Structure 1
Amino acid sequence: MLWRPCRMPTKTSRGWPCFQNMLHYMKRKRASCTALQFSEKLLLLFDDECSQLRETSICLFKDLMEAVVWCDRRRMKTKVRRGLLPLFFHMSDQSPSVAKVSRKALAVVAKILEWEELRHVICPHQTQRITECLLEQDRSRAEGYCHQSLPYLKDAQAPLREAAVRFIGLAARPLRDQSKEKLAEMCSALQSLQEDSDLSIRSLAAQTVLSLSSPRVQPRA
């Protein structure tokens, strides 16, 4: 049976207590397998056009992670990595409540992954340091991070598009030495923003393309 996104209960709806009870039951019964599967479905809702649905899915994702992390930490680490960038970008969400819960959820993910430095820069919302922390923790994932960021260049929210441009500007730097083809793909995606409705984003994208396309300056011996 195929899973389809459905309307999620909000904290003020009658359905929310059911989810809370489910979390309590899962915590007692250590039903980590079910939680891991459900977390995958929640990730699909992080970018929903409805801010209330975004907030609810992210909040539930956070609660699930906290409830079952000790049951299966290894598998949980694999799952939560997929939520790193969506949560990071939604820290810039135009909805204050979504931005707030995204910050809290990202802190939980950092705790599960045992990335202490990342936890310390989340609360002050140091965007560039968060990006640097993500890349420093696993440089081999830079290309994957870039590809995961591409859909956000077309997001309806200007702050998320801007965050994606800035992230790609840092994450794509290693591609100058690793893969000219992949770098060209990133630059092409950024160039598509030359007709963006936001002037500042158009300018930022152009500057980022220029920076990535410029020859790397080799340090003097």
Structure 2
Amino acid sequence: MMLQAANSPVCSTLVLELTGRLQPLFHHTTSSVQLLSLELFQRLMQSVNKKERQPMKTRVYENVIELLCLLHDESPEVAEASRVTLLGAAAFLKKRRLRKLLEKRKTLEVGKYLLSGCGSRAAHYVQQAARCLWSHQQPIREAAVRFLGLAGQHLRGHQELLQPIHEALENLPEDTISSVANLAAQTQCTLRDAERAAPSRLSLREWLRRAWSRRPSLWARR
């Protein structure tokens, strides 16, 4: 069996490839397919060998936000399976704080924790949440909007990262329920108000450059 032979280099490559192909199945309209894909994702995390651990970490990070949104799945079985899968991801990534938040079911705090210190993963997190806006379930879409709102607050001041958030919230699917559309509109207004209210933050180099350029005029006033 493939998972039992995961120490094989060829098999490890297949495990990584299969992990990358599971994402669309997380949002399948049939809960049994969702449950099977989540179980398989857990098994794949457990089967990868040490050599492929780093590439697998990338795969796990590419799915954590979608798993977070799936905690709001209308099927209690799928929601719980998503939580168990996220717990497995926390163990795989060695994120003790994430595991504790999941055990206490503090969903909002989980989102904040994932965003803290996310660095280059921020753009990928936004992409994952944007994909969830196309879910056939209203609770998952609402969860995606809320996460994008959190991400927008976290990324304030980084316009190149904020723009995809605004685009995702503006380009909702045509069949979007009014409550989701209203939540998206409110989130955008909140983010834009915060952006306008935020003071301009200059880097030390930029501040010094501007101060130096103003030096003659300052001297002239003496």
Distance 1:41 1:153, change over 3 A: closer
**Percent of paired sites with the same residue:** 34
Query: 2:67: which partner in 1?
Result: 87
Backbone CA RMSD of aligned residues: 2.6
Distance 2:191 2:124 in 1: 17
Show structure 2 runs of 5+ residues with no match: 200-222
* Aligned partner letter, 2:141: R
Distance 1:111 1:92 in 2: 21
- Does 2:188 align with 1:189? no
Q: Check the 8 A contact 1:142/1:172 in 2, yes or no.
A: no
Give 1 or 2 for the bigger CA radius of gyration. Answer: 2
Q: CA deviation at 1:128?
A: 1.2
How many aligned positions are there?
196
Distance 1:76 1:207, change over 3 A: same
3-state SS of the aligned residue for 2:133?
helix
Distance 1:28 1:190 in 2: 43
Distance 1:40 1:137 in 2: 24
How big is each residue's C-alpha offset from its partner over 1:90-130, in whole Å with a ceiling of 9 and x where there is no partner? Answer: 11111111111111111111111111111111122212111
Matching of residues 32-47 of structure 1 within 5 Å: 32-47=12-27
Show structure 1 runs of 5+ residues with no match: 1-20
Task: Identify the structure with bigger relative contact order (alpha carbons < 8 Å, sequence gap 6+).
Answer: 2
Q: CA deviation at 1:161?
A: 0.5
Which is worse superposed, 99-108 or 66-75?
A: 66-75
Give the TM-score of the pair, scaled to structure 2: 0.77
- Does 2:132 align with 1:132? no
3-state SS of the aligned residue for 2:153?
coil
Which is worse superposed, 201-210 or 60-69?
A: 201-210
Query: 1:216: which partner in 2?
Result: 197
Distance 1:151 1:74, change over 3 A: closer
Distance 1:147 1:198, change over 3 A: same
